[in-house]
Amino acid sequence: MSEVRVAGTGMTDFGRFPERTGRDLFAEAGLAALDDAGVDPGDVEHVFFGNFMGELAEHQGHMGPLMAEAVGVNAPATRYEAACASSGVAVREAVRSVRTGESDVLLVGGTERMTNMGTAGATEGLSIAADDLYEIRAGMTFPGAYALMARAYFEEFGGDSTDLAHVAVKNHEHALPNEHAQFRSAITVDQVLDAPRIADPLGLYDSCPITDGASAVVLVSEAFAERNGLDASVAVTGSGQGGDKLALQDREYFARTPASTAAAEEAYADAGITADDVEVAEVHDCFTIAEVLAIESLGLYDPGEGLGAARRGETTRHGDVPVNLSGGLKAKGHPVGATGVAQLASITNLLTGTHARSPDVGDLRVGVAHNAGGTVASATVHVLEVVA
> Who contacts 8 (Cβ-Cβ below 8 Å, separation ≥6)?
32, 33, 34, 35, 36, 37, 38, 39, 217, 218
The predicted model gives 305-311 an average pLDDT of 98
pLDDT at 344: 98
Task: Tell which CATH architecture fits domain 4-118+209-386.
Answer: 3-Layer(aba) Sandwich (3.40)
Provide the sign of the torsion angle of the four alpha carbons 356, 359, 363, 368, taken in this order: negative
pLDDT at 94: 98
Report the 10 Å Cβ neighbour count for 290: 29
Torsion of CA 354, 359, 362, 368, to 10 degrees: -50
pLDDT at 363: 96
Q: Exposed, middle or buried, 41 (CB in 10 Å: 0-12/13-18/19+)?
A: middle
**Among candidate residues 209, 279, 220, the one with its CA nearest the CA of residue 17:** 209
Please state, in angstroms and rounded to a whole number, the distance separating the CA atoms of residues 160 and 286: 18
The predicted model gives 186-201 an average pLDDT of 97
- Neighbouring-strand partners of residue 339: none
Identified catalytic residue from 172, 180, 334, 382: 334
Confidence of residue 79 (pLDDT cuts 50, 70, 90): very high
**In the chain, % of residues over pLDDT 90:** 99
The answer, yes or no, to whether residue 73 has pLDDT greater than 90, is yes
The answer, yes or no, to whether residue 183 has pLDDT greater than 90, is yes
| Helical spans, DSSP H, in the chain | 22-37, 54-58, 63-70, 86-99, 118-127, 142-157, 161-175, 189-194, 222-227, 258-271, 288-297, 328-331, 339-352, 358-361
User: What is the per-residue pLDDT across 109-136, written as a single tens digit (0 to 9) for each?
Assistant: 999 999 999 999 999 999 999 999 999 9
| Cβ contacts of 17-22, under 8 Å, gap ≥ 24 | 17/113, 17/115, 17/212, 17/213, 18/113, 18/115, 18/116, 18/212, 20/113, 20/212, 21/58, 21/113, 22/51, 22/54, 22/57, 22/58, 22/60, 22/63, 22/67, 22/111, 22/112, 22/113, 22/214
Does the annotation mark 84 as catalytic?
Answer: yes
pTM for the structure as a whole: 0.97
pLDDT at 357: 97
User: What is the per-residue pLDDT across 201-224, written as a single tens digit (0 to 9) for each?
Assistant: 999 999 999 999 999 999 999 999
**Among candidate residues 88, 372, 381, the one with its CA nearest the CA of residue 246:** 372
pLDDT at 1: 82
**Among candidate residues 58, 63, 73, 53, the one with its CA nearest the CA of residue 19:** 58
